[in-house]
A and B are shown apart, each in its own frame.
Chain A
């Protein structure tokens, strides 16, 4: 901010001094200053020092801690220039200090890898979901999930390739509830024009970037005429600015029915929060399960990567049977975000080779491998590519 005001004051001084001679220069200077000042919040600079990035790591509960150990192992082995700042969040506590620490750490570093934080609903309703709090405080408005059929995984449907973009901050997840009379509870679902436009804009931009032909909006506007009606209207408005991309809409119950019979018809889907939850879980199930699909939460300034279906996996925790694929692919997405493309491609190819060629599968996709076996196989493949690797 100091630089800005200095520049502005400089312009004031310079202008009368140089008169007409460098009038153009001053005008350009003035324009630059105005455009910088029109941004109300500064984008935080990348947390990069000495060529190494710092990324916040929130292990979460359930299978999070053990799988993140594997992720760190793979990163160390492949000499990825990323350091992790680990922040533990205790889901048993009633205060929000832990989550606030995590949020501050993410603000500091800009990028995070996250496991799912369990929400015990035996606690009083004033204790909000930690995951939700994180998403809303950091304004991570877009949840993106790419569901692709993997050739090595046996599923009922083949050739699925769907990108799901889900509004991540409002809708049914506003956590605004009250008990007006004893035994009658009201929960508010909020849909705003700004957020709907924002998510629609994100969806179409992503579709164009990836060369996708069709965007489908999923809604229930026949029942929730005002709420989902507004969402649909915003999507249509944005669609009119992208004539190269086809836009259509579908009611959510019909969508789920179509997904289980003909999922190949879908390309890119955009929807509000709750339907996003349902549709993304259905799609994850269609391509092989929660252990395979990575998810990303993008905000304007921050990005948090996690598994797409956000499971804690309490029942399989610490038994060495969890599938590390989803988290490893999520960390590759993170590396792409940090522009470390080579590292990302290397690890991603190793993971996919293990999945598709060596067919070393964990129990959730019908195999008998353990987590450590899968990770060892991945590291072997990375080593065989001749890259510089650390000693184990």
Chain B
């Protein structure tokens, strides 16, 4: 995949600089230098050198699990260097809350980010950090692949689905008014633009990850216009991706079938609220937020992968945390970047360690420390090709 992308990138650049690629034209040295410089700038991703990723350790157990992930990546010799940044809300010009400019600049430059859990202090006057990040980078899709883990048994052994949730609008627009005393109205906003974006992303994701079908989850029998618009946009997007099967299902039917037989679902795409509930439902099926990876895809190629559990202040700093969620999110990031081989190795090592049950952390049912768990994974990496 990297080879093809590199080739097409070069061809595009040559076209951009209006240089022909057949043998007849003679390239001048200056043009070649320009192309080389442009290549270096635009295709850093595909250079055989190191790729830089912004790392946001977060609060609570964030720093220790980030260290664990960095250690495992080092042991696996992944060509990534980390740029650590901190995210806090600061009041920018115009009174709007923004994230620190160095963090923003780092993300914009690197495009890939890995984030630990962030604390949202109550009554701090600023919106939640996650919301701020979402608005800053226009993170419109939240992707959560849920795969049953061997070794961490739940009553559901055959889960293998992905929930793709629209992350910017819908019921979470935050537009609420008190109409009269005792009557509150909350507005759910669905736009064609956002629905189109998420639908196309869902099909793109399905194609890139070789998934067979995409199911749109909706409640168009009740919310005729809003979910009707969402559904129509999904149908239109489905037309462009004939190789992928498209179905639509009511939210209640999905919930009903999900707890009875989750193996029938593949990729699910839905608006914000349903996505929130369903993605957490699916996380519960495979074992909870402590083992679920999550990725947020934004406009302009930005992608931030994160662990969705809380900061767990009660075990922070005690080397008891479970880094699985952040590790699997980092694996997701590797896949997104095209480093499939490294992703496969690290994921296999992680699953093997959990299956062996020799060094599990407290939440997985064991009594090992975070560092021991990390060490076990690093050891496993040695056994995997």
Contact = CB atoms under 8 A, between A and B. Distances in A.
A182 B292 CA distance: 38
A178 to B, nearest CB: 7
A282 B189 contact: no
Given A183-B192, A227-B184, A125 B281 contact: no
Contacts of B253: 281, 311
Contacts of A191: 183-186
Contacts of B234: none
B257 interface: yes
B123 to A, nearest CB: 12
Given A194-B182, A220-B276, A277-B219, 18 more contacts: A156-B155, A172-B188, A172-B223, A175-B224, A178-B225, A183-B191, A192-B182, A223-B171, A226-B178, A227-B185, A256-B278, A256-B281, A257-B284, A261-B288, A281-B256, A282-B281, A286-B259, A311-B253
22 contacts: A121-B228, A128-B224, A156-B156, A177-B224, A179-B225, A183-B193, A185-B226, A186-B188, A187-B188, A187-B189, A189-B187, A189-B188, A193-B181, A226-B184, A253-B279, A256-B277, A257-B281, A257-B289, A260-B281, A282-B255, A285-B255, A286-B259
A157 interface: yes
Interface in B242-300: 251-253, 255-260, 273, 276-281, 283-285, 288-289
Interface string B213-247: 00000011111111011010000000000000000
B174 interface: yes
A184 to B, nearest CB: 5
A185 B231 CA distance: 13
A154 to B, nearest CB: 11
A284 interface: yes
A381 interface: no
A83 to B, nearest CB: 32
B176 A224 contact: yes
B18 interface: no
Given A121-B220, A121-B221, A177-B224, A256 B284 contact: yes
B187 A186 contact: yes
A254 interface: yes
A74 B195 CA distance: 49
Given A188-B185, A224-B186, A278 B251 contact: yes
B260 A285 contact: yes
A294 interface: no
Nearest to A253: B280
Contacts of B231: 121
Given A183-B191, A184-B192, A185-B191, A309 B256 contact: yes
Contacts of B189: 184-187
A119 interface: yes
B210 interface: no
A223 B189 CA distance: 14
B185 A190 contact: yes
B177 interface: yes
Interface in B46-102: none
Query: Interface on chain A toward B: helix, strand, loop, or mixed SS?
Result: mixed
A230 interface: yes
Interface in A145-193: 156-157, 172-173, 175, 177-179, 183-193
Contacts of A309: 252, 256
B367 interface: no
Given A188-B185, A190-B184, A277 B251 contact: yes
Given A121-B220, A193-B183, A260 B225 contact: no
Contact of A289 (B223, B260, B276, B277): B260
B179 to A, nearest CB: 8
Contacts of B220: 121
Contact of A261 (B154, B172, B187): B154
Interface in B135-192: 154-156, 171-172, 174, 176-178, 181-192
Contacts of B190: 184-185, 187
A225 B187 contact: no
B284 A184 contact: no
Contacts of A387: none
Nearest to A174: B185
Contacts of A223: 171-172, 174
A190 to B, nearest CB: 5
A125 B225 contact: yes
A192 B183 contact: yes
A15 to B, nearest CB: 41
A230 B163 CA distance: 30
A190 B183 contact: yes
A134 interface: no
Contacts of B184: 190-192, 226-227, 230
A324 interface: no
B43 to A, nearest CB: 35
A278 B176 contact: no
